[in-house]
Amino acid sequence: MLVVDDGSTDDSANIVRGILSKQKGFRFVQHKNSGPAATRNRGIDKTQGRYLIFLDADDEMMPQALEHYRCALDSNEIIGMLAGGHISKTPLGDKKESTMPAIPKSAEARLKAYLLDKSLALSNGAVAISREVFDAYRYPEQFRASEGISMFAFILANFEVLRIKEPLAVIYKHNDSLRHNVTDASAAGLLVVDEVFGLARIPAQFQHLKIKFMAQRSLSLFRTLFIAGNVKEARTFYHRAVRFNPLVIFRASYFIQYLRSWF
């Protein structure tokens, strides 16, 4: 196990050193705060395992997760990613279990399920990714949020993906986590779409999905900003979504939020 400290300002480093002094099998590296993409890439460089599992500071591996991974790999030779469900937990203790649905066989169907339909939800803490993936592509360090989208899309388009139905991680939800960083999400904006659909990452036969993802990404940013109270900026992304795909006006939940943004 490798712990990478992304320039923490609390007592994390001393806590890890205390564990290292009592228990073998851990390694620890530190670097200046660079964001999750750079931190994961550093971990890739500092490890040698065939499959890598990334746990953020607000993730916890389920007790039987490694056994589920082992069993899945015993019967499958060439797999780019193993993906399982997860349990979300709020600061109030509310829990929601999300099982991993059946993963489509075709690469195009997988991309649609992940990028457009949102029927395939992936979390870094609940997947194991083959090192072969990282030989071809690394996490995009120019983004401090949404950096996982292009990685997962790259894997779904180019590698076999195996489903593990059981939950593999607990994902702790809290308002100040990177997942809810509105500033970073807004900065990434629609640039994420170009990163996802770079021709070096997504084959030409799937490029027709880009315009639809532009619309979906705009809707996602609209909702993120609306919830954060940035209604003026939120509306600009809703307008962009409609320009990219006029049919999004029939998606009732987004349209109702758009109407509410004017009152």
Contact 108, 205 (CB under 8 A): yes
Strands 95-98 and 27-31, sheet pairing: unpaired
With contact defined as beta carbons under 8 Å apart, do 58 and 174 qualify?
yes
For the chain, how are helix, strand and coil distributed in percent, rounded to 5? 50, 15, 35
Which 3 state secondary structure label does DSSP give 101? coil
Please tell me the distance from the alpha carbon of residue 114 to that of residue 103, in angstroms, as a whole number.
10
Positive or negative torsion for Cα 246, 251, 252, 253 = negative
**Looking at residue 151, what is its pLDDT?**
98
Domain segments of the chain as ranges: 50-176, 203-261
CATH code, residues 50-176: 3.90.550.10
As to burial, measured by CB atoms within 10 angstroms (0-12 exposed, 13-18 middle, 19+ buried), residue 221 is: buried
Longest dimension (CA), the chain: 60
Residues in CB range of 254: below 8 A, 6 or more apart: 219, 222, 223, 238, 241, 248
Output the tens digit of pLDDT for each of the chain's 263 residues: 999 999 998 998 899 899 888 888 889 999 999 999 999 999 999 999 899 999 998 899 999 999 999 999 887 777 999 999 999 998 888 999 999 999 999 999 999 999 999 999 999 999 999 999 999 999 999 998 899 999 999 999 999 999 999 999 999 987 665 455 688 888 889 999 999 999 999 999 999 999 999 999 999 999 999 999 999 999 999 999 999 999 999 999 999 999 999 99
Residues 240/234, Cβ–Cβ less than 8 Å: no
Does this model's pTM top 0.85? yes
Beta strands 81-89; 161-172: pairing state = parallel
